[in-house]
Structure 1
């Protein structure tokens, strides 16, 4: 069974509630090495899930409403060196937006 076929529907995330940063992010996303953050979020449609973004400036308050730009699915093979996050609850976003 190839796990990369099971993934969060990144185009249907919508708004979410920010719960904080969790765990160690991957060193590589979609084949690109970089500095990333793993955010823990929640919404009615998906329950708890992760969004990986490039490192951002500033602090996001817990319980803030957020949405995302440039969402892409992430695949199991994109995680290296034991920092695996289940692909079916993860998505990559180029930008996280805090809503007022």
Structure 2
């Protein structure tokens, strides 16, 4: 996953090499799974990645994570994703604070 944030425009360009889609946590706590096209694995030359661009509102948080987080749960990846969204929706000053709460 590669993300480039432009603080002047408040926009973030994101490209993926097969990682799970990032999660945007809005300042009001609303959690949004961002639709990013999955590109080829890194190291396969000559194949272009498609980047998606998203506005990041002031005070929002962008969470990037690996497939391992989803597959580590005995409840399955979809339940793990729902639990991740619920955890991220809780008020916190940072992702680190959110993860240790």
TM-score, normalization: structure 1?
Answer: 0.29
Name which one, 1 or 2, has greater alpha-carbon Rg: 2
Task: Return the structure number with greater strand share.
Answer: 1
Query: Relative CO higher for 1 or 2, CA cutoff 8 Å, sep ≥ 6?
Result: 1
**Larger helix percent:** 2
